[in-house]
Amino acid sequence: MIPLLAAIITLETDTTRIGFDPARNGAIVSLVDKASGKEFAASPAVPLLYELRFTNAPPDATLVTDADAVDVTVKREGGEVVIAAPRHKNAAVSVECRFRTERGSPLIHGRIAVRGGEKFTLAAARFPALAWKKQLGPSPEREFLVLPRNDGCIVQAPGKAGWLPTAPYPGSASMQFIACYDDTAGLYAACWDKQAFAKQIGVEKGRDSLRLAFLHYPTREPRREWRLEYDVVLGTFRGDWQTAADIYKSWAVNQPWCRRTLAQRVADGDVPKWLAEPSLFYAYSLRGMDEQQQWINRLPLVSQQADAWRALLGGPTTFMMMAWEKKGPWVTPDYFPPFGGEKDFKATTEALHAKGNHTLVFLSGLKWTLRKSPAYQHGAAPFDDTAEFERRGTASAICGTDGRPQKWGTPDKDVGEHAQICAATPLGRKILLDAALECQRLGIDCVQADQIVGGGLPACYNTRHGHPPGGGNWCAAALYKIFADIRREGKKRDKSFAWSIEEPTEFFIPVLDTYHARDYAQGRWPRDGGVIGVPLFTHVYHEFMHGYGGDSCYVSTNASPTGLYQQAMNLVCGKAPGVAVWTRPYDPAATHALQARMLRSHFELWSGPAREFLVFGRRVASPALNVPTTRAKFSPKSSGPPSELDMPAVLHSSWRLPDGRAGTVFACIANEPVTFDAIGKTLTLQPGEAKFVEHGAQ
């Protein structure tokens, strides 16, 4: 007699049906969008439930999956499906996975627990190890993968992409969800973690499928039991990246980082008012080139540069004083006295303030520069600080699994060879706090923790720092406290002090005043590798956090479709305007007419009736416009040919206020007038022109 196979056990919501196969140890063998009937789960040729990675284990026990489980039961317990694996062939561990539905939620909720791993150390858990078809339908060009990498991106035809980025959270993953969709339906997955436990967010490409890359990193300690402390949720939807972002937002707005809106924080003085007013964030290197391409001290030129921008745009500058550090750009932590000397530096900041301008500098995060070659010193001398690091920094440095301080980079590249200081150490707090307050004393209004992208730092395994080794959420908590301390101490001195970070992150919103946005970036980091940038973080969090566009937004005295596109993106994404010239000599008065027009429009809209929408409003889904396209070139940050992308000739975005009023901003990046229909009107925009139209909710 042929034995009967156990039936697939299912859970259902209004939108989604998920199936677990008892014959395959509870693997997820079906994930169906009920409205369209689209099946997302791939053929179960690989484990589809969990993967566990152990250290200090024999080779055959380093990787443990549901395929290795023995005596598995899959059953219902009340409204849950419970998969229990009491043992595995290659490791004496047991695993329990629980999935459930919740009233009113369209999502499937899951958690995992691992027991009996005292002999080995759990390094990572992939859960759920869901795989889906590499190609969802007959039109791969209409398939998209949504990733929260920094400001946000999508990958067209992900099954054919050569590379799919994953990102650490907190860090380069600013949020905790992914989505994959075509014109019929989409798959959505998210972590509902409000405590910032270390994890990896993304999707991996297999031979025949795409695979969810939610890797959860516990602290690396022997333990009797480890439980995932938050839900992982799965579901299906119909729509685009904005629809997926709205699903995530329905959870996100109820988290601790969304207790107060930006409007409330500005009103009560928690975020300085000047950030919500128009000013040009201008990246200008103090160590820069003159017209003869010689390195000079450009500190004496700062005030006249700000004056020239005011004459062109009619408003103040937030002067981003780059290469300000004593011993060369990105040389840390020995910053002071600043380049040009304290007296002249402070006189320059005072002159800027006297005319209503503001100032900003970057700190190089918690890096400790070891060596830098002359090529990356902007005319400064070669640098070697290894002896001082050995004397003062080694004991507090981030260490690898071998317990030794880690080093990154090389002297002849970018920020040079460097180590990093652990955020949980007193030295980590001292480096950031002391530098921020000294910058404030020198007349800096906004200090940025650059190079701690999205609040992410490498894992540290030094057991003498007062934290558990490896993952968990101790690092995020330590950094959060440092940021809170810096803001508190800075605002004691001056309520207008602001603290910023490079690239956005949800968890740190309450302890930041602004963030360095790159919504304008395409074809280069953080939108490199063939991804397409979309304002994902803006869509979810704009009404809760101020952002500015700046350190690589192009500006030119010549016609530049790229520059015009980037400046328009800052506008339509609700960011304070920004441009960058870094070391090249630049006359603001000679800015190309179309770019000058776009930047003036930005100032005018932020000063007029569009201000409440673009500064404090909620971004809402913006249907595509029926307009021609225009081509722009985007140069990579490193070597390589530029990429060319066709962009809509008119960029736009829609916004809503709490009182129900709605409005849309339009920005023309074409080199000729564009006439189009939108929001029930026929509109015509001239090249470089931007327009805001208030209207009823769409």
Q: Is residue 496 very low, low, confident or very high in pLDDT (cuts 50, 70, 90)?
A: very high
The predicted-structure confidence for 245-287, as pLDDT tens digits, reads as follows 999 999 999 999 999 999 999 999 999 999 999 999 999 999 9
C-alpha span between 642 and 346 (Å, rounded): 40
The pLDDT value given to residue 667: 98
Share of the chain above pLDDT 70, in %: 98
Q: How many CB atoms lie within 10 A of CB 411?
A: 18
The predicted-structure confidence for 508-548, as pLDDT tens digits, reads as follows 999 999 999 999 999 888 998 889 999 999 999 999 999 99
Higher pLDDT, 523 or 495: 495
Q: Which residues contact 351 (CB under 8 A, 6 or more apart)?
A: 302, 303
Q: How many CB atoms lie within 10 A of CB 117?
A: 24
Of residues 504, 571, 644, the one with CA closest to residue 149: 504
* Cis peptide leading into residue 170 (ω within 30°): yes
Residues pairing with 83 in the sheet: 74, 97
Q: Which residues contact 167 (CB under 8 A, 6 or more apart)?
A: 147, 148, 149, 150, 173, 200, 201, 202
* Ramachandran sector of residue 436 (left: φ over 0; alpha: ψ -120 to 50; beta: rest): alpha
The predicted-structure confidence for 60-104, as pLDDT tens digits, reads as follows 779 999 999 999 999 999 889 999 999 999 888 999 999 999 999
What residue type is 590 in one-letter code?
Answer: A
Residue 43 scores a pLDDT above 80:
no
Specify whether the CB–CB gap between 31 and 236 falls below 8 A.
yes
Domains and CATH numbers, the chain: 9-255 (2.70.98.10)
Q: How many CB atoms lie within 10 A of CB 375?
A: 10
Residue 13 scores a pLDDT above 80:
yes
Question: How distant, in Å, are the alpha carbons of 7, 24, 69, 80 from that of 85?
Answer: 18, 12, 6, 16
Q: Output the six-digit token pair for 60.
A: 């055959």
Measured between its terminal Cα atoms, the distance across the chain in Å is 63
Q: What is the mean pLDDT of residues 561-589?
A: 97
Residue 353 scores a pLDDT above 80:
yes
* Cis peptide leading into residue 128 (ω within 30°): yes
Residue 1 scores a pLDDT above 60:
no
Residue 160 scores a pLDDT above 80:
yes
Specify whether the CB–CB gap between 151 and 517 falls below 8 A.
yes
Question: How distant, in Å, are the alpha carbons of 188, 193, 214, 217, 673 from that of 228?
Answer: 19, 10, 12, 10, 55
Residue 673, phi then psi, degrees to nearest 5: -60, 150
Residue 2 scores a pLDDT above 50:
no
Q: Is residue 634 very low, low, confident or very high in pLDDT (cuts 50, 70, 90)?
A: confident
Highest mean pLDDT pick, 30-44, 228-242, 638-652: 228-242
Q: Provide the mean pLDDT of the chain.
A: 95
What residue type is 311 in one-letter code?
Answer: A
Share of the chain above pLDDT 90, in %: 88
Residue 622 DSSP SS3: coil
The pLDDT value given to residue 642: 81
Residue 168 scores a pLDDT above 80:
yes
Residue 5 scores a pLDDT above 70:
no
Residue 577 DSSP SS3: coil
Residues pairing with 498 in the sheet: 446
- Helices and strands: H and E segment counts in the chain: 11, 46
Q: What is the mean pLDDT of residues 623-627?
A: 95
The pLDDT value given to residue 72: 97
C-alpha span between 20 and 11 (Å, rounded): 9
* Ramachandran sector of residue 437 (left: φ over 0; alpha: ψ -120 to 50; beta: rest): alpha
Q: Which residues contact 658 (CB under 8 A, 6 or more apart)?
A: none
Q: Is residue 686 very low, low, confident or very high in pLDDT (cuts 50, 70, 90)?
A: very high
Q: Which residue has the tokens 């962009």?
A: 647
The pLDDT value given to residue 113: 98
The count of C-alpha atoms lying within 13 angstroms of the C-alpha of 579, restricted to the half-sphere facing its C-beta, is 29
The predicted-structure confidence for 177-205, as pLDDT tens digits, reads as follows 999 999 999 999 999 999 999 999 999 99
The pLDDT value given to residue 349: 98
The pLDDT value given to residue 698: 53
C-alpha span between 129 and 696 (Å, rounded): 44
Residue 348 DSSP SS3: helix
